[in-house]
Amino acid sequence: MTGNPPDNPDQPGAARVRPYLPGAEQPPPPQQPAPHEYQQTPDHGALRPYLLTGGRVSSTGVALEIEAQVVTTELGQATREGLAYEKRDIVELCDAPLSVAETAARLGLHIGVVRVLVGDLVALGHLAVLRPEVGLASDVETIEKVIRGLQAIS
């Protein structure tokens, strides 16, 4: 692990705005937008992405597929107030099932970072995950189901 672990991984600094961009002299907008909208365009350039995970590139829990479906558990819903920053955003966003990749895109976070954070939250029981079954991709029945579904598109 080559990242430098910050003192507190849950507080990766407030630098949402890249400080050295031209035109960055005007201060960031004072009111914080809703958590899900504040990064429609990824702007984490000033931070090394894995800073958000304390430099870890794999989570304490399972290594998730990028298409694995994530949904907040009752525990997650009940305790979301206790979570900070990105983890709280993830728990709020995943009230309806979402894939890991979609979660990353909606939050404007790097996919590897979200995998680590989601893996942590799954290990803690805040999120439940539905992972694609091994062998699903070569299951003829599944493929035919997808074929029929696509053929219905017109």
Partner 1 sequence: MDSKRSPERAQPVAGGEGRRAPVPVKIVIAGGFGVGKTTTVGAISEITPLTTEAVMTSVAAEIDRTGAVPEKTTTTVALDLGCITIDPSLKLYLFGTPGQDRFGFMWPDLSLGALGALVICDTRRLDSCYPAIDYFEKIELPFVVALNLFDGTLAHDLADVRWALAIREQIPVITFDARDRLSVRDALLAVLHHARDVSSGKERARPRPAPIRTGDSRPSLRIAASDHPYRR
On whether the CB atoms of residues 13 and 84 are closer than 8 A, the answer is: no
Which residue in 21, 24, 78, 123 binds partner 1 (CB under 8 A)? 123
Stretch of 5-13, 17-25, 71-79, 82-90 lying at the interface with partner 1 (CB under 8 A):
71-79
Q: Least distance to partner 1 from the beta carbon of 33, Å?
A: 18
State how far the alpha carbon of 23 is from the alpha carbons of 27, 28, 41, in Å. 10, 11, 17
Of 127, 107, 3, give the one whose Cα is nearest residue 53.
3
* 131 interacts with partner 1 by CB under 8 A: yes
Footprint on this chain of partner 1 (rule: CB under 8 A)? 1-3, 42, 48-50, 57, 60-63, 65-75, 77, 95-97, 99, 101-102, 104-106, 110-113, 123, 128-134, 136-140, 142-151, 153-154
